[in-house]
Amino acid sequence: MSRKKTAIITGASGHLGSALSRSFHNAGFQLILLCRNKRDISRELLSEDGEIPLIFEADLSSPKQIEEVFGSISSRGIPADVLVNNAGLQGLKPLGELTAEDWDNMMAVNLRAPHLCTRFFSTASAPEDYPEGRSIVNIASIEAENPAVNHAHYDASKAGLIQYSRASALELGPAGIRVNCISPGLIDRPGLEDTWPEGVARYISASPLSRLVRPEEVADTAVFLCSSAASGITGVNLRVDTGIGATTGY
């Protein structure tokens, strides 16, 4: 009898992180969740099926804390089949006010942390321990290709993450690890339309589907990319954007 597969999900306490956790749980995965505060993990997820995820608190801007978490996972002898690098920062700041500290903080979480998590995940055990292979999914953004005003540091980090995913796919493919990227469009969340009505209206107007992205659509896409149905897919960036990428842009 085959063992239950395990998925490591970073940024698990956020809106998208919660959706990712639910989708992988529903797909039959055992969960290892990384977040800044355990109290922010969805109560609904913790109560489902009586199966409690393994949860680690970590500040992913700290290389030491990342190493400690993956060391703890390894010491428990838990084979990890999937890594979803979802944790990320997003902030608004004009170029003229963007400091070196602002830049470094963004890159530390959005680009360096996925690299370190990828490195520890990929070297944790031998390829022969995973006859069906393993998968990594990095959560980028459509802003990697369609930049926004006051988002230079965020947009650059996500563009870097897409190229890092491609490079990782090249290097890790021989070890049976597939690496793919998802670029979500504007994800719907409670209160978004109240706080940014003009942005929501512009997005819906431009979208061929005339709506925002649902978090579960991104999460289910991640599950697909980690499934046997996607066994021939690696090194791709898949936009889940309700069609914004197909618009003319003018």
- Alpha carbon distance 151, 139 (integer Å): 17
Contact 139, 88 (CB under 8 A): yes
Residue from 130, 154, 164, 250 carrying the catalytic annotation: 154
Point out the residues of the chain with pLDDT beneath 50: none
What's the pLDDT at 249?
66
130 is catalytic: no
- Alpha carbon distance 176, 131 (integer Å): 8
Of 150, 146, 156, 161, which is closest to residue 207 (Cα–Cα)? 146
What's the pLDDT at 59?
96
Q: What is the dihedral of CA 17, 23, 28, 30, to 10 degrees?
A: 0
- Alpha carbon distance 181, 225 (integer Å): 9
What's the pLDDT at 250?
58
What's the pLDDT at 50?
56
Kindly report the number of other CB atoms within 10 A of residue 71's CB atom: 12
What's the pLDDT at 170?
98
What's the pLDDT at 42?
62
Domain boundaries of the chain, sorted by first residue: 6-236
Name the strands in the sheet holding 134-139, side by side, starting at the edge strand that comes first in the sequence.
54-57, 30-35, 6-10, 82-85, 134-139, 177-184, 237-240
Of 166, 179, 162, 126, which is closest to residue 239 (Cα–Cα)? 162
pTM score, whole prediction: 0.95
What's the pLDDT at 45?
61
What's the pLDDT at 130?
87
What's the pLDDT at 236?
98
Cα–Cα separations (whole angstroms), residue 195 to 51, 58, 184, 188, 189 = 36, 29, 20, 12, 11
What's the pLDDT at 48?
55
What's the pLDDT at 37?
85
231 CB-near residues (< 8 Å, 6+ apart): 133, 178
φ, ψ (nearest 5 deg) of residue 29: -85, 145
What's the pLDDT at 43?
61
CATH class of 6-236: alpha beta
